[in-house]
Every structure is written in structure tokens, then in C-alpha cells.
Amino acid sequence: MTEEELQARLEETTPERDRYELFVEESQDQDVRVRFSPPTGEGWSTAALLAVVETSLRAAAGVEASVTHLSATRLRAAHPADIIALSRVIRRDGDVIHAESWLFSHAVVEAMLHATASLASRG
């Protein structure tokens, strides 16, 4: 799937309140890079970060997939700047997909959050 196709599919399947101006920067096989922007004049709440994690995991695993199990580790506080999410599929086992996502504040230097998840494929 091209970046443009993934962008369109994520916009179709992600509620507007959870998009955070998402922009697919790169999409290769099962590895994706998506940029998110914070709400105007606000920082990143825990709920917003979880929405970003869920969206980035679905970007890698398939936009129709749904998270069934999630483990997230906060490594440092989020800056009130764009977030770059690097996500990839670790393993596929039938209808179950195991994936991970790393979140970075503004630049890919030091991760601020790491999440692993299992997702159920719907297709």
C-alpha cells in the first residue's frame, strides 16, 4: 500500500477526534512512519497518546485490525510538538497480528513511549 493509499484508509477508519492531523510519511511492507500534531495550544494527554499508539499500530497491521491486548511503557514525557510514530508488524499468526510502535517527540532521537500489542484481523 502506498503512503497516499494508507493515508486515505486511516482517515476513513480513524475518528476525526483521534487523527491529530496524521500524516503518513513512509509505508514499506509492514513498517510505517506516521506524524501526528498536538491539539492547538495543548500538550499530549495520556488519552491522546493512546489514540496515536492505536492508530499507528493499525497503520502497520492493517487499518481494519483492532487492538485486543496492549502494553505501553512511557519512557519520558511528551513535548508539545509533533509526534513521529514508527510501527511494524513483528509476527502474523492466522488472524492475530503482533506489532510494536515507538513514539518520538518531534525527531527520531530518543523514544518517549514504546508499545507492543496483539491485534485481531477483520479481513
29 bridge partner residues:
none
For the chain, give the percent of residues with pLDDT over 90: 83
Q: What is the pLDDT of residue 48?
A: 95
| Per-domain boundaries in the chain | 3-120
Q: What is the pLDDT of residue 57?
A: 97
State which amino acid sits at residue 40: T
> Do 43 and 96 form a contact (C-beta atoms < 8 A)?
no
Q: Tens of pLDDT along the chain (123 residues)?
A: 899 999 999 999 999 999 999 999 999 877 999 999 998 888 899 999 999 999 999 999 999 999 999 999 999 999 999 999 999 999 999 999 999 999 999 777 889 999 999 999 976
Q: What is the pLDDT of residue 41?
A: 82
Q: What is the pLDDT of residues 84-112, one digit of tens each?
A: 999 999 999 999 999 999 999 977 788 99
- For cell 492505536, the residue is 54
Backbone angles phi, psi at 4, to 5 degrees: -65, -40
CATH superfamily for 3-120 is Hotdog Thioesterase (3.10.129.10)
Q: What is the pLDDT of residue 123?
A: 61
Name, in order, each residue with C-beta under 8 angstroms of 43's C-beta and a sequence gap of 6 or more: 78, 79, 80
